[in-house]
Chains A and B, each alone.
Chain A
Amino acid sequence: MATVNIKIEGVSYQVEAGLTILEAAKKCGYEIPSLCAFNHGECSNGSCRVCLVEVKGARGLVASCVYPVNEGMEISISSPRAAEARRASVELLLSNHNKDCQQCDKNGQCELLHVASVTGAREGRYQGTKTPVTIDQLTPSIIRDTSKCILCGRCVARCQNAHGMGILGFENRGFQTIVAPAENRSFADSPCILCGQCVSVCPTGALMEKSEIGKVDAAMKAGKHVVVQTAPAVRAALGEEFGMPVGTAVTGKMVAALKRLGFAKVYDTNFAADLTIMEEGTELLGRIQNGGVLPMITSCSPGWVNYAEYNYGDLLDHLSSCKSPHQMQGAILKSYYAEKNGIDPKDIFVVSIMPCTAKKDEKERSQMERDGIKDVDAVLTTRELAKMIKRAGILFTRLPDEEFDQDLMGTYTGAGVIFGVTGGVMEAALRTVYYVLTGKEHDAIAFEAVRGFEGIREASIDINGMTVNVAIAHGMKNAKVLLDDIRAGKSKYHFIEIMGCPGGCIAGGGQPIVRSCFLPHEDDDILDTYKEKRAKALYSEDERQTLRQSHKNPQIQKLYDEFLGKPNSHKAHELLHTTYAARVGFND
């Protein structure tokens, strides 16, 4: 590793060559305030001017996020000239900002407020006109409010990096500049897949999920039978909202909190993940044995489903017809559960706690209801659940560990838990498919080959003399590679897992945001490591389960015996399967 010698405030350090001043300073124990710089240059336009520092001999102050260190460089962060300039930069940003901070959903996690506090910016020094405002709240998932946008470009970079889509871009020039989909359209009128990755990098409240807490309140007030279910990835991240270390699994406390929030029943979507495996695994075997359309692709991720409908309308036959797990669980709650408990399905209100913003949109799809009754009535992100818990005054860290309700759909297997991480659905499916084809369990249980965070992974598994070729992709940029191969007739796979968000649901657009400045007890490189830490929380929970294969879940077996018949039965199709339709990206 080539190094250079630098001085910060007169103290000598040896740092890696090629780093920016901002990165080098961090390694030396300095946090220079910054907004547009994000995650090792994923975004660094040098545009926000919040990270200005003084470098001896340089012509003016330099933007530390784009200025590389070099031999003998002498840097001052504390110099009054630099400190004053940083404060002025923040004040200029604030002068064109909608400062309704106390009503803003981002309150408490706003990086602009953070740097304002750090730099000592005071409101009101600069007054003037403001950029014309657009508020887009047409989709069920995401609200874009340009009055809070500081034009840092992180969302633009993220959409491009994660998906190669670039839905958002800079438009117009000068004071009229905004970040928006082309023509300043709504996300609803663009090919946006609503994954929420842009939301998870936005430093302010310019991009936020559309909250549905009010809907849940209204249902409770109206005396509905309000049942809640939680996706696997939520437990791996919820604790972060309450200061717990990244990677802490908080399953028991989460259940305890939900019970205290007044939900009639608290279930785990993992039950339906097991159900998904039964349905999807059976579908896959059917396709392999009967010469059906292959490769089959998973359909759990609504962001991915949106992408497929917008961009690969010709390949929709490849998608599994299975609904995503929380939709399945909703459908079972409003049929089997309703029947068993003698409750009118119309009186049941199903709330899904999801790491995802696209799920908010998914539940509104016309295919996701029966006789005018929706499978799922409200979707809250992990962040929204944290807000509800805080609102109720619950001290989360002091909660005891409690268990999900056990009746009807209370048990789940380790296979369901790992749905939350890229490769998890594939692994869960392989565990069961292996059993169905060979009549015995796979020795290792864990299929290590499909784990990890490589953008595209593949494996060949020998089952009873048959080689099953599988692949996994997460982030649409990676998915595109596999899809283009299918389109060209070159794909060798039987089964492909695709997740919309890079890393899978653990890093979904509805998960707690990860920022060093709000996580003082985490390592500096937390943005590099949080996915692995959250994934580890899920893999450990899988290992702790006595049941680790979906087909072993006794309540799933009972559900088939008593209600559905067998996997892919007529009734199962009616309740648990769905259809897709090609869509035009920029509709008129």
Chain B
Amino acid sequence: MAHISEAGVKKINEICDRYAGEKTPLMMILSDIQNEYGYIPLEVQQIVSKKTGISVAEIYGVVTFYSFFSLEPKGKYVIGCCLGTACYVKGAQQIIDKFSEILGIKPGETTKDGLFTLDALRCIGACGIAPAVTINGKVYPKMTVDSVAGVVEEYRAMGGAN
């Protein structure tokens, strides 16, 4: 557990405490950690395990089951391309392929500069505006292959600035 600072351990314990009264707190704890840090490595899972008594294997199982959770640090901008049925028939595959081509990464990967992560999502419930893309929660409706480059540029322009 050498990689996590004392303050980090304290923070994770604090997050666990938020749900101390809950019967099944794990999803909420992991959700908060994912939002706070952007990923949930094994060292963090061990801290959660110690605090909650839930086994590391079970926590790891939950983290690897839900695609919302990540074991690796995610990029500053997480691009989620919906590949649900409606989006798919409206050409979502070509859109995610275009993102892949421009960013030089496969779905699930993060660019070397840490700016972008590309995720393939299952139906996000926005079928009316298919094909849909989300970037850090902002929804881009009715995406086209031609608009992909512009969207990427928009975020590149913001760069690492907060």
Contact = CB atoms under 8 A, between A and B. Distances in A.
Given A182-B42, A182-B45, A165 B60 contact: no
Contacts of A586: 42, 46, 56
Contacts of B42: 182-183, 586
A427 B56 CA distance: 37
A165 B56 CA distance: 9
A165 B64 contact: no
A172 B58 contact: no
B39 to A, nearest CB: 14
A245 interface: no
B68 to A, nearest CB: 12
B56 A182 contact: yes
Interface string A136-163: 0000000000000000000010001000
Contacts of A170: 61, 65
A515 B55 CA distance: 28
A169 interface: yes
Q: Which of B53, B55, B59, B60 has the most CB of A within 10 A?
A: B55
Contact of A181 (B54, B57, B59, B65): B57
Contacts of A173: 64-65
Contacts of A165: 55
B57 A168 contact: yes
Given A182-B45, A586-B46, A160 B55 contact: yes
A167 interface: yes
Nearest to B55: A166
Contacts of B55: 160, 165-167, 169
A171 interface: yes
A165 B49 CA distance: 10
Interface residues of B, number: 14
B57 A166 contact: yes
Interface in B24-57: 42, 45-46, 53-57
B119 to A, nearest CB: 15
Contacts of A181: 57
A514 to B, nearest CB: 25
Chain A interface, >50% SS class: mixed
A167 to B, nearest CB: 6
B60 A169 contact: yes
B60 A182 contact: yes
Given A182-B45, A586-B42, A586-B46, A171 B56 contact: no
A424 B107 CA distance: 59
B60 A166 contact: no
A124 to B, nearest CB: 32
B58 A171 contact: no
Nearest to B66: A173
Contacts of A585: 46
A505 B55 CA distance: 25
A389 B56 CA distance: 41
Of A166, A172, A182, the most chain B CB neighbours within 10 A belong to A182
B65 A172 contact: yes
Nearest to B67: A173
A19 to B, nearest CB: 26
A172 B65 CA distance: 5
Contacts of A183: 42, 60
Contacts of A166: 54-58
Contacts of B45: 182
B64 A171 contact: yes
A180 to B, nearest CB: 8
Interface in B48-90: 53-61, 64-65
A169 B57 contact: yes
Interface in A291-316: none
Interface of A: 156, 160, 164-173, 180-183, 585-586
* 5 tightest A-B CB contacts, nearest first: A166-B55, A169-B57, A182-B60, A169-B61, A182-B56
Given A156-B57, A183-B42, A183-B60, 6 more contacts: A166-B54, A167-B55, A167-B57, A169-B57, A171-B60, A182-B56
11 contacts: A156-B57, A167-B57, A169-B56, A169-B57, A169-B60, A171-B60, A182-B56, A182-B59, A183-B42, A183-B60, A586-B56
